[in-house]
Structure 1
Amino acid sequence: MATRLQAPRLLARAFSPIEHTYTARDTRLYALGVGFGADPLDAGQLNYVYGGADDETLLAVPTMANVLAYPGFWAREPDTGIDWQRVVHTEQEIVLHAPIPPWGRVIGTTRVRALWDKGPGKGALMLQQREVHDAATRQPLATVRQLTLLRGDGGFGPGASEGAPPAQHHLPERAPDAACDLATIPQAALIYRLSGDLNPLHADPAVAHAAGFDRPLLHGMATMGIAAHAVLRAVLAYDATRFAGMRVRFTAPVVPGDTLRTELWIDGKTVSLRTTALERGVVVLNNARVDLR
C-alpha cells in the first residue's frame, strides 16, 4: 500500500508552542526514574534527588531536557500521513545551552526539520527538533533532536530533504578508559513513566505481549538517562554544569531489572560510550557521545 505521507506538508506542519511548568518534585522524580538515589549515602547522587531541606543544592539531570515541553506522540495524528504503528525511535540528541534549572516554566517549539526517503518498502527517516527556552527570560536552555525510522512510509515521492542523515559517531578503536555498572530495578519503567511518557508498552504486560515482548520494557529515554548518569558518576564527579550535550543510538530494548554497563572512552571534551545489558549480553546503546564544557 502506498504511503499517505506528503513530505512538503509534513515539513511545513505547524506545532503549537507548549508551555511546561515543572517543580522540584518533578526534578527529583525524573532523577529517581533514571536511577539516582540507588546509593542513599552518595552525596553526589543526593544532590539530584534531595538537595537539602530547602532544595538549595538540588540539581537537574541534564537529560531531563528530553521531557521538558514534550509534544507527545504527535505522529499518530491523522494529518501527518505517518503509519504511526510502524515508527521506530532510532536516535536521540540533546544540546544544552545552559544547565537545566531544577524548577521553572519553559516553552518548547517543535518542527520537522528533515525527511529522507529510503525508497518503496524501505521506509524513511524523519528528524524532528524541539527548542526549549525559559518562559520568563527567553534564555535558550536546550535543543532536542529525535531521529525516527518511518518503516511504513518509504517511497513518498517529491519533497525529500537534501543531504543525508547525520553520520554515526564512531567509537575509538581501543579498550575503554573506564566503565560504570548501574543496576535498574524491576519498577524502573513504572517510575520513569511518571515524567510524562505514558506509553502502555512500558507498564501493561498485555500490551507488551501483543507487541511481541515477554514483559513491559524500559523507555529508551530512561536508558539514555542512565548512560548520562554513568558519565556524571565516572567522569564528572556529578558536576552537571560540565555536561554540554549527548547523542545516542538505540540498538536494543532494556528490561527493567537489567544491569547496565556503560563503557567510556575519554578524549578531551568528548566522551564516547556504549551501554550493554550485562545479564543478556545485549548492546542497548551504541555509537554514543557526551560533549563536555
Structure 2
Amino acid sequence: MPIDAARALAAEPRTAEISWTPRDVLLYHLGIGAGLPATDPGELRYTLETRLHVLPSFATVAGGGSPGVIRGLSMPGVDVDLAHVLHGGQSLTVHRPVPVAGTATATSRIAAVYDKGTAAVLVMRTEVADGDGPLWTDDAEIFVRGEGGWGGDRGPSARPAAPAGEPDRTVERTVREDQALLYRLSGDRNPLHADPDFAGRAGFERPILHGLCTYGMTLKAVVDTLLGGDVNRGRSCTTRFAGVVYPGETLRIRMWRREGRVHVTVGAVERGDAPVLTGMIVDHG
C-alpha cells in the first residue's frame, strides 16, 4: 500500500531553519492580487516596504520552501503519484504577528492519517518558532485520490455551515490570467499550476490556481472589508478546498460577521457560483 499510516504517524519530525525578508512578503502579496489600485493607501500596506504589514497567510509560504502538501508527500510511509494529490483543507493559527523579516525553526510531522474509503487524507502539521517563542501552527490536509480503503479512522466529517440569512458583505475579486505563474514564485512549483500537459494528466482542462492563493486572496478580502485593514487582528483561518479555481475567473466572497468570528464561502462566478472554499472561519480579536 503506497500509504503506510502507522509508519507515517511514527516518523520522527523534520526540523529546518527558515528565513524570509521583506522582498518575500512583497512577492507573496503581489501573488495573491495585492496592489490594485497601485496607489491606494490600503494596498500600499501590502506592496511598499516602508509601510509593510504582513498578512497572516504569508506564513504558509514563509521560507520559500516546499508547501506543506509537498513536504507531506516526502515523509516516511508516503509514496503516491503527485497527479493524484489535491490540497483538501488548510488551518493556520498565528500566535503573534508575523514579522516582516525573520529566521525561525520549522518542525513538521504527519499529525493524522484518515481513510475516506476512495481516498486518504494526511494532515501535515508544521509548528514554527523563533527565539521569542512560537510564531504559528499550520495544518495542511493532503487529499490523495485512490489511496483509501484499508479500514482506518475516517476522521472528522462535520464541517461548519454558513450562517442562515444574507451575508453581511459580498465582494468579488478577479483572478488574473497569470496569477498562478506569479504565485508559484513564492515556493509552490507544483506543475499542476503551470504545465497544461500535467494538468491534463491530473484530470483538469488547464492549469488551476493554487488553493493557498485563493485562501490568501480570501483572507485579504476579510481583513480589508471587515477587520479595518488590520492584519494583526486575524488569529486563525481554517477552510476546506471544495473546488478548483481557473486563472481568469472571478471569486464571489460572501462574509457573515459574528462575535469574534467571520464565516466565509467562496464561489466561482463564471461557473454558476461553483463552491471553491467552504466552511471557512476567520477568528479575530
TM-score, with length taken from structure 1: 0.89
Alignment of 1:65-214 (within 5 A): 65-69=59-63, 70-72=65-67, 73-77=70-74, 79-85=76-82, 86-119=84-117, 122-134=118-130, 137-156=131-150, 160=152, 164-165=155-156, 167-214=158-205
* 1:239 is aligned to 2:237: no
- 1:292 match: 284
Q: Distance in 2 between matches of 1:219 and 1:91?
A: 12
Give the Cα separation in 2 of the matches to 1:49 and 1:59.
Answer: 9
SS of the counterpart of 2:235? strand
Counterpart-to-counterpart distance in 1, 2:268 and 2:177 = 14
Contact kept, 8 Å, 2:66 with 2:188, in 1: the verdict is no
Partner residue in 2 for 1:218: 209
Q: Which residue of 2 aligns with 1:58?
A: 52
Deviation of the 1:78 alpha carbon: 8.0
Secondary structure at 1:218 match in 2:
coil
User: What is the CA distance between 1:81 and its match in structure 2?
Assistant: 3.6
C-alpha displacement of 1:41: 2.5
Q: Deviations over 1:236-279 (max 9, x none)?
A: 12101101110111111111111211100000111000111212
Q: How many pairs does the alignment contain?
A: 280
Distance in 1 separating the partners of 2:124 and 2:196: 30
> What does the per-residue CA deviation read over 1:6-33, in whole Å, with 9 as the maximum and x for residues that have no partner?
2221101124212111110100000000
Contiguous gaps of at least 5 residues in structure 2 = none
Q: Secondary structure at the match of 2:271?
A: coil
Shifted more, 3-12 versus 193-202: the winner is 3-12
Tell me, in whole angstroms, the C-alpha distance in 2 between the residues paired with 1:211 and 1:239: 39
* Matched-pair contact (CA < 8 Å) for 2:22–2:49: no
Alpha-carbon distance in 2 for matches of 1:278, 1:98: 35
Q: CA offsets, 1:189-219, max 9 Å, x none?
A: 1110010000111112222233232322110
Find the aligned partners of 1:78 and 1:142 in 2 and give their Cα distance: 21
Matched residues in 1 for 2:196 and 2:144: separation?
25
Unaligned runs of 5+ in 1: none
Deviations 1:170-198 (A, max 9, x none): 21011101012111211101110010000
Instruction: Work out which of the two has the higher radius of gyration on C-alpha atoms and give 1 or 2.
Output: 1
Partner AA of 2:101 in structure 1:
W
Distance 1:33 1:87, change over 3 A: same
Q: Which shifted more, 90-99 or 275-284?
A: 275-284
Q: Percent identity?
A: 36
Q: Distance in 2 between matches of 1:107 and 1:291?
A: 25
Distance 1:164 1:31, change over 3 A: same
Counterpart Cα distance in 2 of 1:23 and 1:78:
28
TM-score normalized with structure 2 length? 0.91
